Structure 1
Amino acid sequence: MRLIGRIVRWLLILIAGGATVGALAAAFAYLYFAPNLPDVAALRDVQYQVPLKVYSADGKLVAEYGEKRRDPLRFDQIPPTLVHAFLAAEDANFYEHPGVSIRGLLRATFELIKTGQKRQGGSTITMQLARNFFLSDKKTYSRKIRELFLALKIEKALTKDQILEIYLNKIYLGNRAYGVGAAAHVYYGKNVKDLSVAQMAMIAGLPKAPSAYNPIADPSRALERRGYVLTRMHDLGFIDRTQYQQAMQAPITASLHGTDIEAPAPYLAEMVRQEMYNRYGDRAYTDGFKVYTTILARDQIDAVHALRNDLIAYTERHGYRGPEAKVKLDAGALKAWRADLTRMPAAGASASGQAVPAWDAMLGRYAPVGGLPAALVVASGDKTAQVYLDGGQVVTLDLKDMSWAGAYISVNRVGPVPTRVDALLKPGDVIRVRDEQGRWSLAQVPKVAGALVSLNPRNGAIVALVGGFDYYASKFNRVTQALRQPGSSFKPFVYSAALHDGYTPATLVNDAPVVVKDSALEGVWRPENYERNFNGPTRLRLGLVHSLNLVSIRVLQSIGIDYALKYASRFGFDPARLPHNLTLALGSASVTPLEMATGYAVFANGGYRVKPFYIERIVGGDGSVLYQAQPDTVCEPDCPASAAATAPAAPLPADTTGPAVATPLPPAGTLAHGATTSVPAIKPAMRVISAGNAYQMTSMMKDVIRMGTGRAALRLHRADLAGKTGTTNDQVDAWFSGFNSDLVTTAWVGFDGNQPLGHAETGARAALPMWMGFMGAALAGKPEATMPQPQGIVTVKIDPKTGLLASPGEADAIFETFREGHLPKPDTPAAVSGSEATPQGSRGLTQQLY
């Protein structure tokens, strides 16, 4: 008994001594490490690295930029079952321990003694949080000690729910997903509240090893890990037996989900990204900014469709250039596929068959372009061909689905219509196909380029912008970066100058040959009309309606080049970038589609200059509005009493004569941090041409659609549309700019390398269908919006041949608009005849607006 007593006594002494030594060691460690521990108070105001998100004006997601995908959630937004899944997987006693689990540490210590390896860290959720926020992942004893002390400090500073909230928003869960909100979107395309128990358990199993247990990278190991989490949840009473069994039997449904883009506007999104980076630097991608743009999601979708349909139509008019590539089909894969051929759908239909990995891998090298997926021809005959799409979908094409595909010979020559499918498509061809409302057809990626931009003419807000066929194939934004010749679509600005200078729509101008001697034009210049005909004395209105080059040149000769250049600055054009010769009348300037749309907005809104802009507001990560746009706005006749009077038209201030570019944001601090979303005061836009001038020009451009080069737009069955075609020499550029009082849109088609578009590819044929496709959709169901006839403008009948006032009872008399007091008198022909034309009004810009 004495021996036993001694042994017990010595054991107690050893234990007490060990405890004392342990306590002293802990105290020493704390004294050593405590001074260098970070302040955990930072967790009270944690700033997550949240990506930049860009939205449309109606709240649809346009783009997301940032290395980390994160969707921070409040604790009460996280389902309790998901919280329980993490507790079961990582720290079942989280709500009981003080931040450190003695049991877990002892288990890790015994594992280290037994194996000599640091396989288990014994970390609680609080310790993981300390490591993720303040320490590295390097496995050292000193880091572990720091982790312990930090966990204790965190537990004193925060509640358990606050710790869990931060942890569940911070933890890395693979595939760029940080936090459970992002993981739910990345793996399942859902919000956390919509996840099943099995899906929650799958996500909760990821922190241990996001790569090893990833359901996309290694489904079998992920399934095993999910089973462990579900078992723990059941054992701990977090789920009942039925939930457990259902979740254990559930298949893996995870797949990689990208950002759910709701408004496809990558060109405009890039403009926003550049602006935000210029403003905030690298913080733009991490501080959770939300940028609300001016585009409207539905209009943007319609714009993308209109441009792509137009460029595809142009491409099909010029023939098939052949397959993108030819590959040798693997005999084994082809044999296996043919064995399944009996399940092939009828011609023109499609079905999901057995996926062929070799073919999927090959097609993976050809990303979809502009909505046109790549496909592999696997069988072809005289009447049909079977083509394989990524994932096992099989499509049958017949002759009707490729009737356009005569061989491309040159821009002006196309081969005969194909009569056999196998003469066009052969096994091993890599082609493009197009899905048109469930029917598939042969397609090819256009080599031609295009652009479309649409503005609200009352304030310059960009409602739709498409800079090319596919942003990911070419990031060159042709709306803002392509300097192209506008051709005849520039003529309305010259004609507006002529009206201001004293012309009327009834003024006769001689449509006759013009010979110009000018060294800048290579000596002698003999311009022609597109149809190469001459009409003699022609009313100004008809000169614009039929886009007569010789009439435009005589008008410019009459009013003077310097006068026209200064006048053009009223519409936002930079005179320094315009040609200082008579080719100005034919649109030989270099301008962007955005500049053209901005210029036409002056006609659409009744004579006011607006500046295009695309950012409506910027919201900070804390929800405060950091910037709110205050655009110049056309408010007459309803301008608030507090608004300043509109500025006179002439002379223009120097700062309004620059080129039209999307208005950049003002310097940081325009709105103080924490400003509210109150509606800004209206800034009245400056009037730059008279209401009468804008009305007459709109009337003339309505006739371009009613009976001129734009008459195809009559198919839209609207009487409020006005516009002008534009075509340059050799059909290098094709344009249509047009509007009603609510919307102004410019469409352009051309090759980036300035090759000719081909014979007859005018603005009316190549660009107008794009404009119609967009405007028809954007204005569908909306009432007609047209400018009322302003004061000072009268409508009278004239003789269409002479432009003079019609005699009473004259049978062929037509109506025309004039300024009051400027009606043509019966004995004074309103004409400019011959090559020695003289102006009817002043040459300067000091004439009063009418």
Structure 2
Amino acid sequence: MAKTFKILFILALLGALAAAGITYAVYLQVKDSIPTKQEMKAIELQIPLRIYTRDEQLIGEFGEQRRTPIRYEDIPMDLENAVLAAEDSNFYHHPGVDVMGLMRAAYQLVTSGEIQSGGSTITMQVARNYFLSFEQTFMRKFTEIFISLKMEQELSKHEILELYMNKIYLGKRAYGFDAAAQVYYGKHLSELTLAQYAMIAGLPKAPSRFNPVANPSRALIRRNWILQRMLTLGMIDKNAYQAAVEAPVTAKNYGIQADVEANYVAEMVRHELYQSYGDKLYSEGLVVYTTINSERQRNANQAVYQGVLDYDERHGYRGTLDTRKDLLDEDLATQQEALEEFSNIPSWTMALVLKTSADSASLRLQDGSAFELPFSAMSWAAPYLSENSRGKKPETVSDVLVAGDIIQLRPSDDSTWRLAQTPAVQSALVSLDSKDGAIESLVGGFNFFANKFNRITQSKRQPGSNFKPFIYSSALSNGYTAASVINDAPVVFHDSNLASAWRPTNDGGKFYGPTRLRQALYRSQNVVSVRLLDEMGIRTALEFMKRFGFDPNELPHNLSLSLGSANLSPLQIASGYSVFSNGGYRVQPYLIERIEDRNGDIIFQAEPVTVCQDCTLLERPQNDDSSATLLSQKGLFDTQQGVVERPVAPRVLDEDVAYIIYDIMRDVIRYGTGRRARVLERDDIAGKTGTTNDGRDAWFSGFNGDVVTTVWTGFDDMSPLGRGEWGGSASLPTWIDYMRPVLADTPASYVDKPSSLVTVRIDPNTGERAYPGQKNAIFEVFRRDHVPAANVAARPEARDGQNADPARVTPSTNSALENLF
């Protein structure tokens, strides 16, 4: 017996020595793959780029791996228990390796020749996910074990669990449990229920097989098994268990949901940063805060959306997408499948017309439900003939639809559906804080997902009369006044820079005779603008355009410049208008407010040039140890706050000129082509319409003392917008819809009137100083050294009041101005 025991002991000892030798030999093979303590402590997750509004609303996310890292303290207890029950219930008690599990895996390997189950603990899964491949080999498994044992020595259990919760792949590009909560439930992790925690806890084992969206029945079985394990382990009580297993499967593919739609903005940021970061941009965990105001962005989205749809309906219905009478006899699934073949706009739905009656159409919607579409929801749909004409207005449903038609529907104001069609026209809007150039909202087109071309920055179109205020400000800066008179009469120009003789005309072919510049601008009289530029000189005007940020080399060097024939982007126009809005200062539009790294440290902070009318430039004294030496070479001195380290916006337009232009453009709203904006009942707003030849581009740019907004409408292929479509009809309504909530409940913000300006009475016909007692005299604003000479005697004809300017005498206006540029 003793001899047998001795033999067994020797064999066991030899076996142990052999195992130790083998283990050491394996260790020598894999030791270079074991991370150091420093490497374990320096583990960094691949975190996508996230872009937010200024008020911290998510705009967009870019990165292959959707991930929102969380700390251990943020892990809900129910989720931790669900994960431990599913993956490693002995997690807090083993040294990183489950010996029994490994023995089971080894037995399977010996008997089958293949690795059938890994026996992996959570620690081993972390080791594999962070430091190893997923290759199923003997050597990789040993490496995993050694890394796990070392990890347990270097990291706490909570740190290991935190790494696991953030790294594990859970399907649908979701890495980590907080990302999974957003992808499958559209919520943050803390908002889920016990049943939902158990559902996502079942995903690590096989993200595709137990996916609640792709395989809800299998996922339900897995979820309930985890809940049973939690009950058995004492993690939950019977009541919680019963309520959770009875809960329905509510998972959907939410993706990562943005808080506010601003896809054009997100793409602008991504494109700009990619130039510096390359592909690392999508994994470094950068957080970008833009200048976008979330509420104003929502207003902009809705204003552009509604403006485009209103235009589209005005021009008629282009017909159904298809007619499939064969679908009427098919089952529900076949009908739905046919509808899904058509692309649509987010929040819209496709529908199949099942039958029609005099006052409604019975539809099958894309989600399989039935809906009765009333005639009132399609009464707009007169047949489209061209952009200039429509067919007869429909009187019954059958004038619009027949059974078998496949149509588009959009949500209507009464929470039902309305007949729709994908618009061909485009519109874009950009709004700036004129004091520092911060872009507060931006919409680059009707539907980003259909066309990512950003018409605010990438499109160069002719602004038409929207450009005239820049010409007029040049004139005022070169000796003209708002009362200067130009003869609005037929003229022929033989300009060497033009292809042939040019006969500019006003819209409608009407000429007004001698016209003051104030009238000419708010009426948008083309001939006056051309004559004015001709008198002033093209070279003078081109040089002046630099003040607004325009490159003279990109502007036409001929008289067509006066009518806005340059190709400019809406952002360039809005930037130019900001000079009028802020009283004469040049600011630079900017979009990125700051950038933070994955640790929350600021790595970029915008320092925009800012309007400060109470500030003066302060040069840093040489060899001066005062507080001013802490500034950059040029800082700001504020009479109320002292020294402030922020660049000041340079003055590029005399404050007198800036105010006079503002005052004239207020008349555009009061009496001119922008009269529709009077609905806002704001006396502080000013602006200018713009329409190009043949109505290919329609503009409106408007502002008060704080904000400037530009709207453009047109076709990408340069087609005409159609008869009756002007800046005042196609773009101004969008501007109004946007500015209404922006201006609501805010005090009037005027451009400050300089004390150097004087107001005198003038003759409305001549622009000269009025005679004493002249009845038709009106008031005009002048720079002090440009006031007309006083008249001392009254002329009889001046007392008749003939040809007085109605716009300056009475609020009534000439209806003939409705269709002027």
What TM-score comes out, normalization by structure 1 length? 0.88
Q: 2:402 aligns with which of 397, 404, 426?
A: 426
Q: CA deviation at 1:803?
A: 1.5
Q: Report the Cα distance in structure 1 between the residues aligned to 2:486 and 2:32, rounded to whole angstroms.
A: 91
Write the distance in 1 (CA, Å) between the matches of 2:782 and 2:483: 9
**Structure 2 residue corresponding to 1:759, chosen from 695, 720, 723:** 723
Q: CA deviation at 1:509?
A: 0.9
Aligned-partner Cα distance in 2 for 1:644–1:756: 56
Of 663, 682, 686, 1:699 maps to 663
Q: Give the Cα–Cα distance (whole angstroms) in 2 for the partners of residues 175 and 680 of structure 1.
A: 49
Q: Which letter does structure 2 place at the counterpart of 1:398?
A: P
Q: Is the 8 A contact 2:487 2:515 kept in 1?
A: yes
Establish whether residue 357 from structure 1 lines up as the match of residue 349 from structure 2. Answer: no
Q: 2:362 aligns with which of 386, 391, 394?
A: 386
Question: What is the SS of the residue equivalent to 2:785?
Answer: coil
Pairs aligned (count): 771
Aligned residue for 1:683, secondary structure, equals coil
Instruction: Output the CA distance in 2 between the equivalents of 1:120 and 1:329.
Output: 52
Q: Percent identity?
A: 49
Tell me which residue corresponds to 1:745.
Answer: 709
Q: Distance in 1 between matches of 2:786 and 2:30?
A: 93
User: Any conservation in 1 of the 2:769–2:791 contact (CA below 8 Å)?
Assistant: no
- For 1:276 and 1:746, the matched residues in 2 are separated by 26
AA paired with 2:562?
A
CA distance in 2, matches of 1:703, 1:562: 29
Query: Which whole-Å deviations, capped at 9, do the CAs of 1:337-394 have from their partners, x for residues lacking one?
Result: xxxxxxxxxxxxxxxxxxx333333333334326543332222222211233322343
Deviation of the 1:327 alpha carbon: 3.0
Match of 1:121 in 2: 118
Q: Which amino acid aligns with 2:180?
A: A
- Amino acid paired to 1:802: T
Distance 1:571 1:47, change over 3 A: same
The one-letter code of the counterpart of 2:785 is G
In the alignment, the residues of structure 2 paired with residue 644 and residue 383 of structure 1 have an alpha-carbon distance, to the nearest angstrom, of 78
For residue 444 of structure 1, what is the amino acid of its counterpart?
Answer: Q
Q: Is the 8 A contact 2:597 2:603 kept in 1?
A: yes
Change (3 A) 1:619 1:15: same
Matched to 2:767, the amino acid is G
State the distance in 1 between where 2:346 and 2:147 align: 52
Q: Deviations over 1:540-569 (max 9, x none)?
A: 100011111111111111110000111111
Aligned residue among 513, 518, 521 for 1:541: 518
Aligned partner letter, 1:25: I
Deviates more, 1:187-196 or 1:201-210: 187-196
Aligned counterparts of 2:335 and 2:692: Cα–Cα separation in 1: 45
Aligned to 1:436: 412
Q: Tell me the residue number matched to 2:477.
A: 500
The equivalent position to 2:160 in structure 1, one of 152, 157, 163, is 163
Which structure 2 residues correspond to residues 535-574 of structure 1 after superposition, within 5 A?
Answer: 535-574=512-551
Please list the CA deviations of residues 65-94 of structure 1 after superposition, one character each: whole Å capped at 9, or x if unmatched.
000011111101101221121111111111
Q: SS where residue 583 of structure 2 aligns?
A: coil
1:710-721 correspondence runs (5 A) = 710-721=674-685
In structure 2, the partner of 1:415 is 391
Q: Is the 8 A contact 2:211 2:219 kept in 1?
A: yes
**CA offsets, 1:266-314, max 9 Å, x none?**
1111110011111111111101111111111111111111111111111
Distance 1:303 1:389, change over 3 A: same
**Aligned-partner Cα distance in 2 for 1:115–1:382:** 73
> Which residue of 254, 259, 264 corresponds with 1:257?
254
Given that 2:462 and 2:566 are in contact with CA atoms closer than 8 Å, whether structure 1 keeps it comes out as: yes
Deviations 1:195-238 (A, max 9, x none): 22211111111111111111111111111211221222122111
Name the CA shift for 1:640/1:169 in 2 (closer, same or farther; >3 Å).
Answer: farther
Alignment partner for residue 754 of structure 2, among 790, 805, 823?
790
> Could you tell me which amino acid in structure 2 is paired with residue 222 of structure 1?
A
From 555, 568, 593, give the equivalent of 1:591.
568
Name the residue aligned to 1:618.
Answer: 595
Q: Which stretch shifts more, 92-101 or 10-19?
A: 10-19
Superposition map of 1:81-100 within 5 A = 81-100=78-97
Instruction: Give distance in 2, aligned partners of 1:396 and 1:814.
Output: 61
* Range that drifts further, 229-238 or 14-23: 14-23
Contact in 1 for aligned 2:33/2:143 (Cα 8 Å): no
Equivalence map 1:73-222=2 (5 Å):
73-222=70-219
Query: Letter of the aligned partner of 2:722 in structure 1?
Result: G
The superposition leaves residues 634-675 of structure 1 with CA deviations (integer Å, 9 ceiling, x where unpaired) of 0112x2785899xxxxxxxxxxxxxxxxxxxxxxxxxxxxxx
Instruction: Choose which of 681, 689, 694 in structure 1 pairs with 2:653.
Output: 689
- Partner-residue secondary structure (3-state), 1:797: strand
Q: Which residue of structure 2 aligns with residue 835 of structure 1?
A: none
Q: Is the 8 A contact 2:429 2:444 kept in 1?
A: yes
Out of 311, 322, 325, the residue aligned to residue 322 of structure 2 is 325
Give the AA of the match of 1:790.
P
Change (3 A) 1:369 1:698: same
| Contact 1:644–1:684 under 8 Å retained in 2 | no
Local SS of the residue matching 1:482: coil
What SS does the corresponding residue of 1:330 show, helix, strand or coil? helix
Provide the aligned C-alpha RMSD in A: 2.0
Question: Which letter does structure 1 place at the counterpart of 2:389?
Answer: R
Contact persistence 2:184–2:255 (CA under 8 A): no
Does the 8 Å CA contact 1:306/1:771 hold for their aligned counterparts? yes
CA distance in structure 2 between the partners assigned to 1:197 and 1:177 by the alignment: 20
Aligned to 1:663: none
Of stretches 34-43 and 796-805 in structure 1, the one that deviates more from structure 2 is 34-43
Tell me if 1:448 matches 2:425: yes
Write the letter of the residue equivalent to 2:235. Answer: F
SS in 2 for 1:178: coil
Name which of 221, 240, 243 aligns with 2:240.
243
Aligned residue for 1:673? none
Q: Which amino acid aligns with 2:436?
A: N
CA–CA separation in structure 1 for the residues paired with 2:211 and 2:238: 26
Aligned to 1:528: 505
In the alignment, does 2:542 pair up with 1:578?
no
- The answer to whether the Cα contact below 8 Å between 1:630 and 1:680 also exists between their aligned partners in 2 is no
| Cα deviation, residue 517, structure 1 | 1.3
CA deviation vs aligned residue, 1:442-465 (integer Å, no higher than 9, x gap)? 111111111111111111111111
The 8 Å contact of residues 770 and 791 in structure 2, kept in 1 or not, is answered as: no
Amino acid at match of 1:587: G
Do residues 732 (structure 1) and 708 (structure 2) align?
no
Query: Matches of residues 784-823 of structure 1 in structure 2 within 5 Å?
Result: 784-823=748-787
Report deviation, 1:570. 0.7
Question: Where does residue 51 of structure 2 map in the other structure?
Answer: 54
1:269 aligns with 2:276: no
Q: Secondary structure at the match of 1:186?
A: helix
Retained in 2: the 8 A contact 1:453–1:594? yes
3-state SS of paired residue (1:623): coil
TM-aligned CA distance change 1:121 to 1:828, over 3 Å: farther
Is the contact made by 1:643 and 1:683 (CA closer than 8 Å) also made in structure 2? no
Matched, 1:67 2:31: no
Partner deviation per Cα, 1:459-486 (whole Å, 9 max, x = no partner): 1111111110001111111101111111
Residues 556-599 of structure 1, C-alpha deviation per residue, up to 9 Å, x if partnerless?
11110000111111111111111111111111111111111011
Gaps of 5+ in 1: 335-355, 646-678, 830-850
Deviations 1:683-730 (A, max 9, x none): 110101111001000010000110011111111111111011111111
Query: Quick one: which amino acid aligns to residue 533 of structure 2?
Result: L
Counterpart in the other structure of 2:818: none
Take 1:448 and 1:430, find their aligned partners in 2: how far apart are those partners?
A: 22
Superposition deviation, residue 808 in structure 1 = 3.4
CA deviations over 1:518-537 (Å, ceiling 9, x no partner): 34323211111002111111
1:256 & 1:439 partners in 2: Cα distance?
24
**Conserved 8 A contact 1:726-1:763:** yes
